[in-house]
Structure formats: structure tokens, C-alpha cells
């Protein structure tokens, strides 16, 4: 007999097709979506408005399985981090960041990453495998369940009006107020795991599932140009691009993917993306590395480099790790760099640090999660990046 289908990761269309194969009408798929994603039900026998025979069939042919949490820590500021088991000794991380006016979940898309950025511990770890759509959406599913159960420390819940500020219907689902924003800034390069990322995005946006606003879901990429174009056509959401350097020589070194898709191509794809994007700017992320990319001249070159692209900058304090051989820029240098970019007419934010006491950081922790005991033992301070992706 075929293995059960994991319906947690099926997009609305795929679930409708599966229901068709099971002899069910399309509205059954909508009912199922609501049970699974809005009510968080994983037991088919509890789905009382489905016919009994269909429930029995589902129990036989389908399953709902989010990754299991190996660890679950909440910091004093309310930031919560889950270490999730994805099998074969691989673990990924999901981080929830509560703020006064929003709750942001940072999700992973791969175990490891093949891009090998110099400053990223995930990149140093290498690539293990792509996550499936159910492992990606499972992070949101699991986080919502946990937050509903335990409440949120460290913030005032998002008000309905605020959650629905886009006027596009988001915020109607009470769950989406616990998590109003999702950023693909955990472990991995989402656009190198395109199909699974796309399925997960479709669920995040669907009103019968999570009902999030396109403007509040941000895909962050190191610059996989053809896939930026595909995302524009398939499912445009907010876009963040990890730039980190104002010229090709330096970017080739820091983000090796630049050798394949150099800056001119990347920036052109950003312009094409903006034709269909839900926001009228791209967020450029720029990790501040002492003596590497943080001089006044770099700031001037950066302004020149992006001059045709409507954008905002988000400067990220580097989170050092021993094998990187890199240092973080002094705070004063980061402020000066931000000032130069602002003076050049670009809105610029510096990411705040969060979750210091639980060793949480978006997109930079996972390189160390393979040794799980070390994760538990480590006490040194780490930072989590949150501000600037809205």
C-alpha cells in the first residue's frame, strides 16, 4: 500500500486534487484546510463536519505530521526558539519574535545551505537537504499551536485593525494575529528549494489556511536570479535580498553565488520583481563586517550601485562565529554607515538584537545545531535580528 500523504504541506490546489482522487468535492478540501491549519487539528476522527467514511479514508491514506521539537526555549524578551528534528541527524530552527504591533516567525527552508556565504554559520556547515513543504509549513503550524497553548510573553497582542492594515482581508483569522508576519530568514536558501517554498507560501496566504497578507510574508534570498523571476510570476510576496557588498569583487568573495548571478543581473531582477510585488521596494540586507564592507567608500558605492532600485536597507550586526575569521563592525561604524545611506535618500534600519539569553538568531544559528548538546550547553550571548523587514 502507498505511504500516507502528508497533507500538512499540500497547497490548496493540491489538496483539492487529492480530495478529487478520494471522490470528494472541492469544498471538502476547504473544510480540511480549516481543520488542519486554522484549528490545528491533527486527528481526522475529530473533524466532525466531514462524513464518517471520509474520516476513515483519511485516517488510512493521509497524515498530518509537523517536525518534532527537540528543544523549545523562550527568552526573557519573549523571543521563542524551537529546534526541530527533521530526521537523519538533521535539525532546523524556527524563531518567533514578538513585538508590540506584530508577531514574526522566522522559518527555515533547508537543512544546511549550499551557497556557502563567508559570514554565515549555516553556509559553513554545508548542505544536507531540502525541506519538504510540510516541514516548512509545519514550522508555522507548530509555532501557532505552541503560542495558542502557552500565550505570548513580551508583547501586547496585535490589534485586529493593525493586522489588517493592508485591507486585503488578512487578520480575519484569529490565529494570524498571533503570527502576523513570516520571514524566510532561517536556515537555507528558499529559492534553491523553490517548489516546497512555493507550496508553503500558497498555504500561508490562503484564507482557508493562514490568511497572511502578501506584504507580511518576506522571502529573503542571496540572489538566485531566475527564481526571483519565477516567484514574481508565481506568488509575489515581500522580497529581501542579501546584498552585503557594493561591488562584484567583494560580493563574489562574500556570497559565492554572485559569480553566477552578478550584481547587475541581480538588481535587474529586483526591478522586474517590483513590477508585481505587493510592496514598492526591495529590502537590501547588509551584514556589517569590520574592515571588509563597512567603510564610508563602501556606503557611497552602495548608494551608486542601487540607484535605480526602489529599496530600503537593513544593516545587520554580524554575529561572529570562530571559523569565520570575521569581526563585527563597531556600533559607531554601523551608525555612521546607516547615516550615510539615509543621507543618500534611502530608508535605513539597523537590526535590533533580541533573544540574547536563548542563543537565538535568524539564519545564522543552524550551522551549530548538528551538535545538539553544544546548543544546550552554550551560554555565550547571541543576537537575533528582527527589525527592518515589515
Q: Using CB under 6 A, which of 19, 115, 292, 311 touches ligand SF4? A: 115
87-92 own/partner pairs: CB under 8 Å, 24+ apart: 88/128, 89/370, 90/128, 90/129, 90/370, 91/366, 91/369, 91/370, 91/372, 92/67, 92/131, 92/135, 92/139, 92/186, 92/187, 92/188, 92/366, 92/369
Q: Using CB under 6 A, which of 90, 175, 180, 222 touches ligand SF4? A: 222
Which residue lies nearest ligand SAH, judged by its C-beta?
363
- Is position 208 an interface residue for ligand SF4 (rule: CB under 6 A)? no
Residues 69-108, one symbol each (x = binds ligand SF4 by CB under 6 A, - = not), give ----------------------------------------
Nearer to ligand SF4, 164 or 189 (CB): 189
- Is position 368 an interface residue for ligand SAH (rule: CB under 6 A)? no
Q: Could you confirm whether 235 is annotated as catalytic?
A: no
Q: What is the DSSP letter of 248?
A: H
Tell me the backbone φ, ψ of residue 258, rounded to 5 degrees. -60, -25
- Is position 199 an interface residue for ligand SF4 (rule: CB under 6 A)? no
16: partner contacted, choices ligand SAH, ligand SF4, none (Cβ within 5-8 A by kind): none
Task: Give strand pairing partners of 95.
Answer: 81, 106
Residues 225-244, one symbol each (x = binds ligand SF4 by CB under 6 A, - = not), give -----------------x--
Distance from chain centroid for Cα 278? 17
Number of residues that bind ligand SAH (CB under 6 A): 17
Q: Using CB under 6 A, which of 86, 152, 263, 316 touches ligand SAH? A: 316
CB count, 10 Å around CB of 309?
Answer: 18
- Is position 319 an interface residue for ligand SF4 (rule: CB under 6 A)? no
185: partner contacted, choices ligand SF4, ligand SAH, none (Cβ within 5-8 A by kind): ligand SAH
Q: Using CB under 6 A, which of 285, 294, 359, 368 touches ligand SAH? A: 285
CA atoms of 254 and 41, how far apart (whole Å)? 44
- Is position 363 an interface residue for ligand SAH (rule: CB under 6 A)? yes
Question: Which residues, at least 6 apart from 233, have a Cβ–Cβ distance to it below 8 Å?
Answer: 276
- Angle between the 225-234 and 263-274 helix axes, to the nearest 10 degrees? 10
Q: Are 266 and 248 in contact (CB under 8 A)?
A: no
Q: Which helix (H) or strand (E) holds 81?
A: strand 80-85
CB neighbour class for 153 (10 Å; exposed up to 12, middle 13-18, buried from 19): middle
Nearer to ligand SAH, 212 or 316 (CB): 316
Q: Using CB under 6 A, which of 131, 185, 237, 360 touches ligand SAH? A: 185
CA atoms of 14 and 16, how far apart (whole Å)? 5
Q: Are 222 and 202 in contact (CB under 8 A)?
A: no
Q: Using CB under 6 A, which of 117, 163, 292, 369 touches ligand SF4? A: 117
287: partner contacted, choices ligand SAH, ligand SF4, none (Cβ within 5-8 A by kind): ligand SAH
List C-alpha distances in Å: 233 to 226, 272, 289: 11, 10, 34
Smallest CA-to-CA distance from 189 within 252, 120, 287 is with 120
Q: Could you confirm whether 362 is annotated as catalytic?
A: yes
- Is position 113 an interface residue for ligand SF4 (rule: CB under 6 A)? yes
CA atoms of 80 and 105, how far apart (whole Å)? 9
Instruction: State the catalytic residue, choosing from 19, 93, 189, 199.
Output: 93
- Is position 360 an interface residue for ligand SAH (rule: CB under 6 A)? no
54: partner contacted, choices ligand SF4, ligand SAH, none (Cβ within 5-8 A by kind): none
Minimum distance from CB of 200 to ligand SAH (Å)?
14
Instruction: State the catalytic residue, choosing from 117, 135, 362, 368.
Output: 362
Residues 344-363, one symbol each (x = binds ligand SF4 by CB under 6 A, - = not), give -------------------x
CA atoms of 86 and 134, how far apart (whole Å)? 11
Nearer to ligand SAH, 198 or 316 (CB): 316
CA atoms of 226 and 364, how far apart (whole Å)? 25
Active-site positions read: 93, 362
**Footprint on this chain of ligand SAH (rule: CB under 6 A):** 119-121, 185, 189, 220-222, 242, 285, 287, 316, 318-319, 362-364
Amino acid at each position: 500500500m502507498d505511504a500516507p500523504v502528508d497533507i500538512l504541506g499540500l497547497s490548496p490546489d493540491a489538496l483539492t486534487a487529492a480530495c478529487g482522487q478520494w471522490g470528494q468535492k472541492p469544498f471538502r478540501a476547504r473544510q480540511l484546510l480549516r481543520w488542519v491549519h486554522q484549528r490545528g487539528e491533527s486527528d481526522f476522527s475529530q473533524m466532525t463536519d466531514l462524513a464518517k467514511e471520509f474520516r476513515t479514508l483519511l485516517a488510512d491514506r493521509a497524515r498530518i505530521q509537523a517536525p518534532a521539537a527537540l528543544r523549545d526555549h523562550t527568552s526573557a524578551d519573549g523571543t521563542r526558539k524551537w529546534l526541530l528534528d527533521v530526521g537523519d541527524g538533521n535539525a532546523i530552527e524556527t524563531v518567533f519574535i514578538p513585538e508590540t504591533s506584530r508577531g514574526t516567525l522566522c522559518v527555515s527552508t533547508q537543512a544546511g545551505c549550499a551557497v556557502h556565504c563567508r559570514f554565515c554559520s549555516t553556509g559553513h556547515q554545508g548542505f544536507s537537504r531540502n525541506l519538504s513543504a510540510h516541514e516548512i509549513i509545519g514550522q508555522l503550524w507548530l509555532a501557532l499551536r505552541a503560542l495558542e497553548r502557552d500565550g505570548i510573553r513580551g508583547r501586547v497582542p496585535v490589534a485586529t485593525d493593525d493586522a489588517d492594515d493592508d485591507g486585503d482581508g488578512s487578520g480575519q483569522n484569529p490565529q494570524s494575529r498571533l503570527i502576523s508576519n513570516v520571514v524566510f530568514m532561517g536556515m537555507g536558501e528558499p529559492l534553491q528549494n523553490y517548489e516546497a517554498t512555493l507550496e508553503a507560501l500558497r498555504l500561508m496566504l490562503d484564507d482557508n489556511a493562514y490568511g497572511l497578507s502578501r506584504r507580511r510574508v518576506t522571502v529573503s534570498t542571496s540572489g538566485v536570479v531566475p527564481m526571483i523571476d519565477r516567484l514574481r510570476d508565481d506568488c509575489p510576496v515581500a522580497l529581501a535580498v542579501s546584498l552585503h557588498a557594493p561591488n562584484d569583487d567583494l560580493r563574489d568573495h562574500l556570497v559565492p553565488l554572485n559569480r553566477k548571478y552578478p550584481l547587475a543581473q541581480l538588481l535587474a531582477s529586483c526591478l522586474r520583481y517590483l513590477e508585481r510585488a505587493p510592496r514598492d521596494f526591495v529590502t537590501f540586507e547588509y551584514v556589517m563586517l569590520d574592515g571588509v564592507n563597512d567603510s564610508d567608500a563602501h556606503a557611497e558605492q552602495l548608494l551608486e550601485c542601487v540607484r535605480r532600485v526602489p529599496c530600503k536597507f537593513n544593516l545587520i550586526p554580524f554575529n561572529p562565529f570562530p571559523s569565520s575569521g570575521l569581526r563585527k563592525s563597531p556600533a559607531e561604524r554601523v551608525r555612521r554607515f546607516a547615516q550615510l545611506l539615509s543621507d543618500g535618500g534611502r530608508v535605513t534600519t539597523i537590526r535590533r538584537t533580541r533573544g540574547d539569553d536563548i542563543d537565538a538568531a535568524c539564519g545564522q544559528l543552524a550551522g551549530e545545531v548538528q551538535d545538539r548538546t553544544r546548543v544546550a550547553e552554550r551560554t555565550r550571548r547571541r543576537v537575533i535580528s528582527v527589525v527592518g523587514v515589515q
